[in-house]
Amino acid sequence: MKLLVRPNPGRLEIVERQKPTREAEDEVLIQIQTVGICGGDLTYFRGTGHTLGITESYVVCHEAVGVVLEGPQHLLGKNVVIDPLITCGFCESCVIGKPQLCGSRKDMGYGADGVAAEFVIVPESRTYLMSKDLALPTGVLVHGLAAVLHSLSKVLVDQIPKTAAVYGPGPAGLMFAIRLKELGIDVILVGRNSWRLELAQELGIRIARIGHDEVNDISAELVIETTGASDVLEEALNRVAPGGTLLLYAPGTFNVEATKVFRRELKIIGATGAIGTMQKAMDILALNPAPYERLLTHNFPISSGQAAFELATAEPATRGEFLKASLCLD
């Protein structure tokens, strides 16, 4: 079978391996149909940032939709979305229902082989039946939206904020903005001047351009940072209203002026994973897929994976109206 592998940073290639076989009754053999390329995949592709110690060849990507070929009778021939999280199941974090904090955690496409393959095997518990109301390619958005919903569950606890600002008009930032707007929150998406901000406006989302005076007027109860860039992180902290919350969605490093935090009684919260939100993400997409589907701008055959990743990591002037790509198995 064909697999898309990253043998070293910045390089992908198609390799052939033997088709996998099930070793346990609870495992499911899935023929992959569509794969999504996420921002995290691009970080590991480049070999920069938090690479979880990846030093050797691995199969890329973690978002996928496929059809079940072998497994429980009720799933045979059905389209499913894969949950890529791999945990031990026995540590304290796993036992108390926080597997995203498992010390042995791996994610397909990061610490373990990913889903950019003709066939993969996963436990039945990590499959979600694809909604009949969703177009097949839209399924690759489920995990990304589920991660957004999991993050929001950490901050929308006691009460819903009236105002929010999201930094970074990438796929994650746009998902946050779309969902917050659906919840009736006055949200503003902040980023550098680009086509992505124009898309946000088309979706009815207010925008602010970094470097313009309009950013200085922002004061939001909830500020979400999705870029991981140190200068943006520091700017985002400045925009949190007194008593508000800064949600960190991307890995990165920045200097925190403690006085700003305790004098203004701010909260800084991190979130990782998509725990307990996969089905909810599926339901939201099935109910109103249109704005989310705008995020899928490109589709490539898996044999053109190198070109897809290079376009995704190109400078804004080169990538043009690119936001998120999917790979189809050819």
Burial 113-142 (b: 16+ CB within 10 A, else e): bbbbbbbbbbebebbbebbeebeebbbbbb
Which DSSP string corresponds to 178-194? Answer: HHHHHTT-EEEEEESSS
Contact criterion met (CB below 8 Å) for 304 and 115: no
pTM over 0.75: yes
SS3 86: strand
Going by C-beta distance under 8 Å and a sequence separation of 6 or more, which residues neighbour residue 171?
Answer: 38, 39, 144, 295, 323, 324
Domain boundaries, the chain: 2-146+289-328, 155-270
The first and second tokens of residue 19, run together, are 């088709």
Q: Give the CATH architecture of domain 155-270.
A: 3-Layer(aba) Sandwich (3.40)
Pairing of strands 163-167, 220-225: parallel
Nearest to residue 89, comparing CAs of 123, 52, 49?
Answer: 123
**Cα-based angle 96, 144, 152 (whole degrees, multiple of 5):** 55
The first and second tokens of residue 77, run together, are 């021939």
Going by C-beta distance under 8 Å and a sequence separation of 6 or more, which residues neighbour residue 28?
Answer: 22, 68, 70, 71, 72, 75, 80, 121, 122, 123, 124, 127
Burial class (CB in 10 A: 0-12, 13-18, 19+), 74: exposed
Query: 2-146+289-328 has which CATH code?
Result: 3.90.180.10
Angle (deg, nearest 10), helices 195-202 and 171-182 = 20
pLDDT 10s per residue in the chain (330 long)? Answer: 999 999 988 999 999 999 999 999 999 999 999 999 999 899 888 876 455 556 678 899 999 999 999 999 999 999 999 999 999 999 999 999 999 999 999 999 988 899 999 999 999 999 999 998 899 899 999 999 999 999 999 999 888 999 999 999 999 999 999 999 999 999 999 999 889 999 999 999 999 998 888 888 899 999 999 999 999 999 999 999 999 999 999 988 888 888 889 999 999 999 999 999 999 999 999 999 999 999 999 999 999 999 999 999 999 889 999 999 999 986
- State the pLDDT at residue 47: 77
Q: Could you give phi then psi for residue 214, rounded to 5 degrees? A: -60, -30
Nearest to residue 112, comparing CAs of 88, 92, 94, 79?
Answer: 88
